[in-house]
Amino acid sequence: MSILPPDLFFPFRDYNGNMQAILKLLGKTDIKELALPANIRYGQAIYKRGGVEVIEQTAKYIEGWAGGLNGTSAEGGGQKRRVRLSVTAKGLGWHCAGNPKNHDIFCKHCVALALFIQTQ
| pLDDT tens-place string over residues 6-20 | 333 333 334 443 366
The model's pLDDT over 59-82, given as tens digits with 9 standing for 90+, comes to 788 999 999 999 998 899 999 999
- Read out DSSP for the chain? -EES--S--PPP--SSS--HHHHHHHHTS-HHHHS-HHHHHHHHHHHHTT-EEEEEE-SSEEEEEE--BSS-GGGTBS--EEEEEEEETTEEEEEETTSPTT-----HHHHHHHHHHHT-
State the average pLDDT over residues 84-111: 87
Cα-to-chain-centroid distance, residue 81: 11
pTM of the model: 0.81
Structure-derived torsion over alpha carbons of residues 107, 112, 117, 120, reported in degrees to the nearest 10: 170
How sure is the predictor about 28, in pLDDT bands with cuts at 50, 70 and 90? low
